[in-house]
Amino acid sequence: MSRRLPPLNALRVFEAAARFESFSAAADELCVTHGAVSRQVGQLEAWLGLGLFERRGRRVVLTAPGRAYLSEISAALDRIALATNEQLRATRQQIIRVNAPTTFALRWLLPHLSNFQLTNPAVEVRLVTSDEPIERLRDECDVAIRGSAQKSVGYVVNEFLSEVRLPVCSPKVLNSRPIHQVSDLAHHTLLHTATYPGLWAEWFAACGNPELVAHNSQQLDHFYLTLQAAIDGLGIAMGPTALVALDVEEGRLVFPLDGPALPAWRYCSYVHNSRIEDQAINIFMTWLRELGHRFSRTA
């Protein structure tokens, strides 16, 4: 059944004029001239064959049919506006704010994020790095990622990635001086991170060689610098397996020894209870869990 509809632009103009009972106010709202409003209203009245306004000097007043028509037209236009906004909201790019530690973001999350954006173009991830406690971040991010247990009252917590620590170095280091057993490390430079000063001592103790002393050692301020130094051939780092996985896969780093493996971080995501129904956040969380499962490794 075909719909018999009046000129839709004339309906829009009539609704504004009827709401204000003023052609001038309607013209201001619609950014048109007073004359344009008058013409559109006249066109609608002619199409309907009835008067919608009474002209009283410079004023206009709705007639009884005009008032009844306004009631129906306003409701219909409201439904059209609501349906349009819903469609726009569904297709408009949604933004989620992710807060993660710097080394994790640089070495693991960022290298994979382009794949997420390609498969989910309607979701934009805005990444910020910090180690702030979770309870300070509620209004600053939608998803927080941390590598250790945090206070999480009011948050949904999901572990998505676990890793262990093993010695890791550039292939050129092994080519210049092979490593077949733990004692061979004594002839190499060991890389230390200021914030994790005891890793090598802990690993040597696990190997049963607590007294082993390396030929040389070098300390760096941040863990991402230590890993970059290992890639550049400066020495051997105690590498977390997940954060170096892509470098190993692409041949920039190798594990010279199979073990022992030290327990390392168990990365968790934190989403506030008020955001757990958010579609964009859930899309990101599903991707994070699936990706983390691929790279997880336990001691």
pLDDT at position 27 over 80: yes
pLDDT band at 235 (very low <50, low <70, confident <90, very high): very high
Average pLDDT of the segment spanning 146-170? 88
pLDDT band at 290 (very low <50, low <70, confident <90, very high): very high
pLDDT for the residue 80: 85
User: pTM for the full model?
Assistant: 0.65
C-alpha dihedral sign at 127, 128, 132, 137: negative
**For residue range 251-273, what is the model confidence (pLDDT) as tens digits?**
999 999 988 898 888 999 999 99
Average pLDDT of the segment spanning 9-16? 90
Place of tokens 């247990």: 149
pLDDT for the residue 127: 93
State how far the Cα of 139 lies from the Cα of 156, in Å rounded to an integer.
16
Tokens standing for residue 277:
């129904």
Average pLDDT of the segment spanning 35-62? 89
pLDDT band at 125 (very low <50, low <70, confident <90, very high): very high
pLDDT at position 38 over 70: yes
Could you give the domains of the chain? 8-91 (1.10.10.10), 100-299 (3.40.190.290)
pLDDT at position 232 over 60: yes
pLDDT for the residue 89: 62
State how far the Cα of 212 lies from the Cα of 202, in Å rounded to an integer.
11
